[in-house]
Structure 1
Amino acid sequence: MRRVLTGLACVTLLIVAGCAPRAEPPAPDQAAAAFAAPPPPPAAVRTDPASVKPEVPLRQATAEDVGLPLYPGAEEEHNQTTGAFERHATMSLRTGDSVAKVTAWYKAALADRAGMTVSDRSDNALMPTAVLTEQMPNGLRSLSILRDGDKTRIILVELRTGSGQAP
């Protein structure tokens, strides 16, 4: 008897489902609006790099700006990350000497500076580097020495806190 009732319930459900009124399909413009792609973003504005002027006057940094000596015979590099403005000065140098030789020279040249800390990894065969940092009352100076291809790159930075400009 239970099977008969279950079968009858299934047949009744199928008949009721088949007799139900059908929903009208949406109008074409409604369907299109539902699946319309969002509008494209505005076109990027291209600016000629030569016409862009920095908001803060930028000039090439000097050894006086960074407060550190320049490695003898190193070539100065001028790029978008070097310069002096407000409370920041950065210089980039390159030399054919090894990281170990450059590090030894800077350690000797800066030996009299009490606030200088040295992280020397110049003997690391995979990535020889050294970082010398000097804490100042109004900021810090940093000197990074690393291998860059067949040359050694020396990055000299001075950051000042508070008001005032880099020297």
Structure 2
Amino acid sequence: MSTRFRPAAATLTAFALGLAGCGKVSEVASEKATEKMIEAQINKDGGNAKVDLSKNGATVEGTDEHGKAFKMEMGSAQLAEKDVGIPFYPGAKPADEGGTRIRNDGGEMVSIELRSSDDAKKVSAWYREQLKARGEGATVIDSAQDKGMQLSIVNEKAKEHVMVDVSGDAEGSRITLVHSTNAK
């Protein structure tokens, strides 16, 4: 090695060792290895997938063994009220982790967790009122719980399923919204 390149090589080596010392290099390498393992599992049956674990969740996109496109965003989907198709409780904020969106030629499913400082019974009553119209002509399962409720509405004609789960805790309410549609 020429003497004029030694300081640059030493600087690069020190930088790489510094990254390894904080665990970043091994974390990224582990993430990439995991992505490749998931891709290999999907691709072994004739699918073609690209996996990304770098966005505080997992995104898997590609085609299945029949050439049908799919996309899954698990814990990384940035969802708004219009994406979910269920109103967000006033003042509720999305939980720290992102939502989930799974899309293929058969339809789409989205879910998100919200947090509210309001009591679970108040939040439950609000959702029952908001979703009352959706229950007409559909199968409705409404289960009250000690600190919350679970409401499920299945509308075969609209090919839609809505689920709202409200549970109370020391901080107020945890609200899980799930909306799925069937394209077929």
Q: C-alpha distance in 1, partners of 2:81/2:132? A: 18
Larger radius of gyration: 1
Q: Which amino acid aligns with 2:144?
A: D
Matched, 1:77 2:95: yes
Q: Which amino acid aligns with 1:133?
A: S
Name 1:141's counterpart in structure 2: 162
Q: Quick check: which one's helix share is greater?
A: 2
Name 2:121's counterpart in structure 1: 100
Matched, 1:47 2:31: yes
Q: Which amino acid aligns with 1:143?
A: V
Deviations 1:9-54 (A, max 9, x none): xxxxxxxxxxxxxxxxxxxxxxxxxxxxxxxxxxxx8226428753
Match of 2:142 among 104, 107, 118: 118
Structure 1: gaps of 5 or more residues: 1-44
Q: C-alpha distance in 2, partners of 1:85/1:91? A: 12
Name 1:158's counterpart in structure 2: 179
Q: C-alpha distance in 1, partners of 2:119/2:167? A: 9
User: SS at 1:146's partner residue?
Assistant: strand
Name 1:62's counterpart in structure 2: 80
> TM-score normalized by structure 1?
0.58
After superposition, the Cα gap between the structure-2 partners of 1:53 and 1:104, relative to the gap in structure 1 and judged at 3 Å, is: closer
Q: Does the 8 Å CA contact 2:72/2:100 hold for their aligned counterparts? A: no
Q: Does the 8 Å CA contact 2:109/2:180 hold for their aligned counterparts? A: yes
- Shift of the alpha carbon at 1:78? 4.5
Higher relative contact order (CA 8 A, sep 6+): 1
Match of 1:89 among 100, 110, 120: 110
Matched pairs, number: 113
Q: C-alpha distance in 1, partners of 2:160/2:113? A: 20
Q: Quick check: which one's strand share is greater?
A: 2
* Identity fraction in percent: 24
User: SS at 2:88's partner residue?
Assistant: coil
> TM-score normalized by structure 2?
0.53
